[in-house]
Amino acid sequence: MKRSLLALLVAALTGSGVAAFISACASDSASTPAGGGGSDASTATEAGTSDAAPEAGNVDSGVAPSTCDLTRAFILDCNHGPDAGDQLTCGAAKFDAWCALNDQAINSEAYRRAEAMCLTHANCTNSQRADCEARSYATATPSTAQKNVVAAYCQTCEPADTAGCAMRETTYDPSKGPDSTDDVFVAAWELNDALTDEIRTKCTGTALDGGIEAQLDAGGVANPCLKAFGSCAGDIYVNALPDCPK
């Protein structure tokens, strides 16, 4: 299992689901805006209306920068000082190679679009960035695989209201902030088709029965079906993360 990357975070978040793990990983990078201070999600610049994305180095004029180019520039812009490069996953020397592998293994087209809109100086705090990303999905088009994983989840966990479930799980309410989104929302927008297909196969329908029973046995879980889905999806997500290049 590919658990060497950010191993301490993985250990701390076992069973927390993919959304919690992604959030924790985000907090390991750009979390402090240049100039100091923080900002609540309610003050975040809306997707598509923020400042232009930071220019990445060594990008030819007229060629759109890649998600990894944008991410590197964003992290360095939001973390000043001689140790800014330490905020890059795997370190400054290996970040580009790792990021390319991660982008291929994890990211959806909707997520890449969100990063192109949101990796700006105005979104240096985690809440600002997450709010911008979530807002961007209101004008994104989900893939067939993303639609299917939502439909399968709703049929499994909310069979009496599948249409309402699908609407709730794919729609972001800015007034509630990015912490209001869950693992289904992440699968619906941010993960690539290979991951969403694997999550649909292994984490919905009868495949999820054992996980739901375990959550019920544990007790005190508000939504055991969602919790079981998140734990299952989180394991698949973590296993897909690439190791740092040697």
- Length of the chain, in residues: 246
Q: What are φ and ψ of residue 107, in 5° steps?
A: -85, 145
The pTM (predicted TM-score) of the whole model is 0.78
pLDDT in the model for residue 52: 34
d(CA 219, CA 86): 41
The beta strands (E) that lie in 13-80 are given as: none
CA–CA separation, 1 and 116 (whole Å): 31
CA torsion through residues 179, 183, 184, 185, sign: positive
Alpha carbon of residue 67 to chain centroid = 14
CA 156 from chain center: how many Å?
23
The answer to whether 170 touches 188, Cβ cutoff 8 Å, is yes
What share of residues in the chain are helix, strand, coil (percent, to 5)?
Answer: 60, 0, 35
CA dist list (Å): 46 to 123, 132, 157, 244: 10, 6, 32, 33
Burial string for 71-87 (b: 16+ CB within 10 Å, else e) reads: bbbbbbbbbeeeeeeeb
For 22, 186, 215, 227, the CA distances from 190, given in Å and listed in that order, are 10, 5, 25, 19
Calculated CA dihedral for residues 128, 227, 173, 77, nearest 10 degrees: 10
Q: Phi and psi dihedrals of 191, rounded to 5?
A: -100, 145
Position 158: which residue type?
E
pLDDT tens by residue, the chain, 246 residues = 333 333 333 333 444 576 655 554 544 444 433 333 333 333 333 333 343 333 333 344 567 899 999 999 999 999 877 777 788 999 999 999 999 999 999 999 999 999 999 999 999 999 999 999 999 999 999 999 999 999 999 999 999 999 999 999 999 999 999 999 999 999 999 999 999 999 999 999 999 999 999 898 888 888 999 999 999 999 999 999 999 999
